């Protein structure tokens, strides 16, 4: 896929959607995600919420199972709403990574 082929789709986005796309691209290019970290030797080096050992895939799995954000926050009382915003941005941008981690860890 080249840039010319996606330009028509980008031009149809709202200003807010374009801003979100720009933010995601900037994060991807910089390979940094606010509130998310990968540390060798911690949860197998998987993406986790900073200051915790909670993998993003775990939260994403709950979201896919239909859990409301309030339920997730109630079950993880040390998480903040901002942590979920960061987790969802990361999970949305790394769907294949999430799929694989969920599949691998379902039987664990």
**For 38-84, how does the pLDDT look when each residue is reduced to its tens digit (9 = 90+)?**
989 999 999 999 999 999 999 999 999 999 999 999 999 999 999 99
Q: Are strands 48-49 and 36-37 parallel, antiparallel or unpaired?
A: antiparallel
Tell whether the model's pLDDT for residue 30 goes beyond 80. Answer: no
Give the per-residue pLDDT at 106.
Answer: 83
Instruction: Assign residue 48 the CATH number of its domain.
Output: 1.10.10.10
How many CB atoms are located within 10 Å of the residue 31 CB?
7
**Does residue 22 sit in the same domain as residue 38?**
no
- The predicted structure's pLDDT at residue 84: 95
Rounded to two decimals, the pTM is: 0.71
Average predicted confidence (pLDDT) for the chain: 90
What pLDDT is stored for residue 18 in this prediction?
Answer: 87
Same-domain check for residues 55 and 104:
yes
> Smallest Cα–Cα separation from 108: which of 50, 44, 40, 49?
44
Distance CA 77, CA 97 (A): 26
Give the Cα separation of 56 and 86 in Å (integer).
9
Q: Residue 33's closest CA among 87, 98, 92, 97?
A: 87
Q: What is the pLDDT of residue 23?
A: 80
Q: Are residues 87 and 65 in the same domain?
A: yes
- What's phi and psi for 68, nearest 5 deg? -75, 155
Indicate if 89 and 40 belong to the same structural domain. Answer: yes
Residues 95 and 66 in one domain: yes
User: Do 38 and 82 share a domain, yes or no?
Assistant: yes
Residue 102 and residue 60 in contact, taking contact as beta carbons nearer than 8 Å: yes
Number of domains in the chain: 2
In percent, how much of the chain has pLDDT > 90? 65
Contact between residue 85 and residue 91 where contact means Cβ atoms under 8 Å apart: no
Domain that holds residue 1: 1-32
Q: Do 41 and 14 reside in the same domain of the chain?
A: no
Q: Verify that 11 and 38 share a domain, yes or no.
A: no
Report the largest interatomic distance among the alpha carbons of the chain, rounded to a whole angstrom: 46
């Amino acid at each position: 896929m080249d840039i010319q082929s996606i330009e028509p789709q980008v031009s149809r986005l709202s200003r807010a959607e374009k801003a979100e796309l720009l933010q995601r691209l900037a994060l991807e290019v910089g390979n940094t995600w606010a509130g998310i970290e990968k540390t060798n030797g911690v949860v197998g080096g998987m993406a986790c919420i900073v200051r915790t050992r909670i993998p993003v895939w775990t939260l994403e799995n709950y979201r896919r199972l239909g859990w409301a954000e309030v339920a997730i926050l109630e079950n993880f009382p040390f998480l903040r709403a901002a942590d979920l915003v960061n987790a969802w941005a990361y999970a949305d941008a790394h769907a294949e990574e999430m799929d694989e981690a969920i599949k691998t860890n379902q039987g664990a």
